[in-house]
Amino acid sequence: MSRGNARVHDVRTSCILIVYTRDLEMAATGMNDAGLRGETINLRASRRQKTLIDRAAEALGRSRSEFMLETACREAETVLLDRRYFALSEDAFRRFAAALDKPPANNPKLRRLLRSKAPWER
């Protein structure tokens, strides 16, 4: 697929790519570099939405703010980490494909694990 001068490759693989960054960790815990919450987010909601959120927060023993931040951060992580389509430059795509095609390093522990039966099969 082509967009302007950039080529976009649709890459579908069975491998799992996990990206874990300091920013995601801080977002999930609600902390900034100093360990404090420093930003304000304002939302408008219907009375029904507010009641629903309050009931769910109460059921978990959390404040409305804690519940909303935890839920929003969890969903944000899902959106960012569960991406299926990657738009890469040709050079980046070549490097990505080369990494996928490279034979795995010798790993006796992993080989032993893959040969063993799963606990539910024993």
pLDDT-derived band at 81, boundaries 50, 70, 90: confident
User: How much is the pTM?
Assistant: 0.45
Q: Give the pLDDT mean for 66-81.
A: 92
pLDDT digits (tens, 9 = 90+) for 17-66: 333 444 555 555 555 555 677 888 898 999 999 999 999 999 999 999 99
Contact 102, 96 (CB under 8 A): no
Tokens standing for residue 26:
């801080």
How is the chain split into domains, by residue range? 2-38+68-104
Contact 1, 7 (CB under 8 A): yes
Q: What average pLDDT is seen over the chain?
A: 78
